[in-house]
Structure 1
Amino acid sequence: MTENQQVRGSYWLETAPAGRHDPLTEDIEADVAVIGAGIAGLCTARELARSGRSVALLEAGRLVGGVTGHTTAKVTALHSLIYGKLRRTRGSEGARLYARSQSEAIEHTAAVIEELGIECEWERRSAFTYVRDPARADEVRAEAEAAREAGLPASFVTGTELPFPVAGAVEVTGQAQFHPRKYLLALAEDLLAHGGTIHEHTVVTGLEEGSPCRLSTADGVTVTARDVVVATHYPVFDRALLFTRLSPRRELVVAGPIPAGQDPGGMYITPEENTRSVRTAPLADDPGRRLLVVTGEHFTPGTADTRAGFDRLSAWARTHFPGVELTHAWATQDNDPTDTVPLVGPLHPGARHVYVATGFAGWGMSGGMMAGLLLTTQITGGECAWSALYDPRRVLPALREAPDFLKHQAQVAKHFVGDRLHPSPPVEALPPGEGAVVRAEDGRLAVYRDDDGTLQAVSARCTHMGCLVAFNAAERAWECPCHGSRFGTDGTVLQGPATRPLERRKI
């Protein structure tokens, strides 16, 4: 990456092209309709099809083309510094159930890969959460103890294969990494082989709960299903008010080949330096080198100079891995639940046949795999030991969730009100490739100037809940800082929860 360079596509998408699946053009019926074809949706759909249910998988864009196609693809039960917090808020049993559920999902995935013979670069690696600041060493030592008490093969170490010293790290052995798109495209084929259907470019806009449930699409098509799973990363239906418990977070990724001898031999993450995550992946056409993948610079969508963030992340990679040629750069998005644990289960207290999977907080690989198993068990009438832990209807003591909940709501209110008070820049001064929110007689406009100098204008009000969008210059997109919806410069929806485009306007 160099200054002002536009983001290239994900390495995973580039190296695993997929076939196309027709949009839904006529009314259909199924036992289960799954909305969203990322890892949570695909794992759920495939498990349900294997159980004998007829399944319709509905995707607004392309199969595995959204958040899952832009992950760093670590498959681990070590989720930064989560076990110490779980032990405080859920008790030792809650932490144990979390570790067990994530670990069993990983081992189930390994079994699926072996059963189907999937070539997806599955590699067993240790996972590390490290710190370089000696003052934080005790925090990591306590996390190792909490993770070990929860049942993980965890230990506190002071030496790693990273090219710099650490003050301490949690190491959990026997974890994994893989090529997420190769794995999930194989799952899609298995879903089809068991009678499931896949419909891309099918935007679900309405849900009528009942027995059966009915979904409506932007094209006026109806899907009738006994059960519905909402696996759209951020739920597209707000009746459960889950948007009050989810905080969107975006992170940047840079990648490029390094000599195999520079491979740090594990999967690493630190909460320091605005997050730094490091792993490598095999390069099939060059066994003497591996792909270095570095992630970090997290921010709320629409609130950061993303080009400067890419420059900082690139500089960090080049400093610690001299000679790396950064060939790929992309960004990913996650939703952090205000009480730490993902929300997987019935959509709301009155739901009988509608389920949700969301809030994986950056750990969507093991979380999505776990969600597929948990939701399949619930829909097929089975029992699962950790259903209550992930239940979206859970009510926790107020003090446990209140600080993060109030912080998130304060940020939403700040953007909803404060962004409307910002001064309006002159449109005439807008250079090619840039965008800005400006005042107009009928409200705020999001104005973008093409490389050829042509201006495009759309309403600046997010179609989800009305917050004002902001421009992401590196990715050339409009982003909502309240709930994470993203739009193209022409207003088309790139990422939900919004399902309707920004309105076109004249300027």
Structure 2
Amino acid sequence: MNAATGTQGSYWLETAPPGAPAPPPSGDLTVDVAVVGAGIAGLSTAWELVRQGREVAVLEADRLAAGVTGHTTAKLTAQHTLIYDHLRRTRGPEGAALYARSQTEAIRHAAEIVGELGVDCAWEEAAAFTYAEDTRHVAELRAEAEAAREAGLPAEFVTETELPFAVAGAVRVSGQAQFHPRKYLLALTDDLLRRGGTVYEGTRVVGLTEGEPCVLRTDTGVSIRAREVVIATHFPVFDRALLFTRLSPRRELVVAATIDEDRAPRDMYITPERSTRSVRTAPYRDGKRLLIVTGEHFTPGTADAEERFARLSAWADDRFAGLTFTHRWATQDNDSTDSVPLVGPLHPGSRHTYVATGFGGWGMSGGIMAGSLLSDLVNGRETAWSGLYDPRRLASVVREGTTFLKHQAQVARHFVGDRLPAVTALAPDDIPPGHGAVLRLGGRQYAVHRDEGGTLRAVSARCTHLGCIVAFNHGEQAWECPCHGSRFAPDGEILQGPAVRPLEKRDLPE
């Protein structure tokens, strides 16, 4: 941890900490619907279904709303960087309009929920801007503003913003929102429980048998029978649909600092320049707001976060001057190869299993949209945009063939290249405290970490998801898989799926 960039940890988790954990099920269960994953997509789906009279159980491997959702930037917007000009070209004006309608409906629905439940979640209406400083991107921004406006959003091209630096141009979309995601979801969960739903934390699902009913199996051997199953684990924990071939994981860093009220931007900003820079502020205290800056994205397992945290903090301090950093954290997103989330039936033969994934960094509006869409599908109804998000779509995969093949080539390089002997290799004694490295010893690859006290520990270097070789992220003290984004603690315990088994502990050879 670097003192210049604040305390390691999410502001959202600090200001809405988890209470006493909901215990795992003590025995086998039978419910109408089992929702696997308690992030915004899973909890939104469960809440919608409970309101409609369904008996629902939510199964979460860790703590609810403490994973990706607990580490988001928490923008609730239909303006997703440069999405609409892309959709206009790949899905036609009708597809772009359906995307805009579905995301806008999610924002409206969230506002209604906040009002209905009286949720104190720092809800603020704001405009969303996608900007560029380089004049070479102006034509791109103008095309995006036109496409977003055609799709039905209140979009316009502007050259002035409240940012303390000049921009070459920006797309402005009014009527968007920002909020405290954990406070929102904790209120949703409280209402879900009042209505008879159940939530189980510390419950890792490791098996699924589809049928009538479907049967889920946990890592403790408990079985959950359910008429319908929703997989909302961010990256799907079950690969039978081959969705992992259409998803690429992306890790992104966040730094937060206090800023005086009179200097704080009130709208939300993002630029694809410089490996992304996203800016928003949130209410804080003592006449301050919290400036939240996100960026420096990279594929898990391919970069160390420490230098990137420093770069992101330096950019924020350069642009906003005199900041006092309070927090830093990281989040992880999955990009679909055709830029549209995958929400709907798990695979072509699905009758009772559904999935929500691939939100591409826009999981707040996407997750709320998914909750409404999946609850409709479970109840035998389709929306106007069901086909847009349907994971079984194939035409878009063909249209986005270059992106699909590029992603598969990257994965293939790790499957093959990471197994080849290195030209030079460290020895265990070469690893300094707080660091880790993959070592080839006696013909096997070991993931070796030395803790701050100097003790070495070793685990298998092969990810338990599909066998790629992990790499160590010193800045976040984690082993990361570059293929599908699984993350493990230094001792091999799972931090983030899709892996459902820890890295196997190993003894180093003499």
TM bin (shorter chain) = over 0.9
Structure 2 match to 1:9:
9
Which segment drifts farther, 245-254 or 379-388?
379-388
Residues 59 and 203 of structure 2 are in contact (CA less than 8 Å); yes or no, is this contact kept in structure 1? yes
Distance in 1 of aligned mates of 2:442 and 2:227 = 48
1:40 aligns with 2:53: no
Structure 2 residue matching 1:319: 3-state secondary structure? helix
Structure 1 match to 2:360:
361
Post-superposition Cα deviations, 1:285-339, rounded to whole Å, max 9, x if no partner, equal 32x1100000000000010121110010010011011111111000000000001
Distance in 1 of aligned mates of 2:398 and 2:476 = 38
Post-superposition Cα deviations, 1:152-190, rounded to whole Å, max 9, x if no partner, equal 000000000011100110000000000000000000001
Distance in 2 of aligned mates of 1:359 and 1:298 = 16
Residues 357 and 371 of structure 1 are in contact (CA less than 8 Å); yes or no, is this contact kept in structure 2? yes
TM-score under structure 2 length normalisation: 0.98
Structure 2 residue matching 1:227: 3-state secondary structure? strand
Residues 338 and 396 of structure 2 are in contact (CA less than 8 Å); yes or no, is this contact kept in structure 1? no
Structure 2 match to 1:298:
297
Post-superposition Cα deviations, 1:231-284, rounded to whole Å, max 9, x if no partner, equal 00000000000000000000000001100111122100000011000000001x
- Residue 473 and residue 503 in structure 1: after superposition, are their counterparts in 2 closer, same or farther (change >3 A)? same
Q: What's the offset of the Cα at 1:7?
A: 6.5
Equivalent residue runs for 1:99-498 within 5 Å: 99-283=100-284, 285-286=285-286, 288-396=287-395, 399-421=398-420, 422=422, 423-441=424-442, 443-498=444-499
* Identical aligned residues as a percent: 67
Structure 1 residue matching 2:38: 3-state secondary structure? coil
Distance in 2 of aligned mates of 1:298 and 1:394 = 28
Residues 252 and 332 of structure 2 are in contact (CA less than 8 Å); yes or no, is this contact kept in structure 1? yes
Distance in 2 of aligned mates of 1:56 and 1:456 = 38
Structure 2 residue matching 1:121: 3-state secondary structure? coil
Which segment drifts farther, 305-314 or 16-25?
16-25
Post-superposition Cα deviations, 1:396-452, rounded to whole Å, max 9, x if no partner, equal 155511111011001101111122233421211111000000012362100000100
Q: What's the offset of the Cα at 1:383?
A: 2.5
Q: Which runs of 4+ in 1 moved over 3 A?
A: 1-7
Residues 234 and 335 of structure 1 are in contact (CA less than 8 Å); yes or no, is this contact kept in structure 2? yes
Distance in 2 of aligned mates of 1:432 and 1:131 = 41
- Residue 26 and residue 15 in structure 1: after superposition, are their counterparts in 2 closer, same or farther (change >3 A)? same
Distance in 1 of aligned mates of 2:448 and 2:54 = 47
- Residue 179 and residue 398 in structure 1: after superposition, are their counterparts in 2 closer, same or farther (change >3 A)? closer
Over aligned residues, Cα RMSD in angstroms?
1.2
Q: What's the offset of the Cα at 1:55?
A: 0.2
Which one-letter code corresponds to 1:152 in the other structure?
L
Number of aligned residue pairs: 505
Structure 1 residue matching 2:34: 3-state secondary structure? strand
1:63 aligns with 2:68: no
Distance in 2 of aligned mates of 1:304 and 1:361 = 20
Structure 1 residue matching 2:499: 3-state secondary structure? coil
Distance in 2 of aligned mates of 1:199 and 1:290 = 35
Structure 2: tracts of 5 or more residues without a match: none
Residues 480 and 488 of structure 2 are in contact (CA less than 8 Å); yes or no, is this contact kept in structure 1? yes
Structure 2 residue matching 1:491: 3-state secondary structure? coil
Post-superposition Cα deviations, 1:1-24, rounded to whole Å, max 9, x if no partner, equal 748979611000000012221112
Structure 1: tracts of 5 or more residues without a match: none
TM-score under structure 1 length normalisation: 0.98
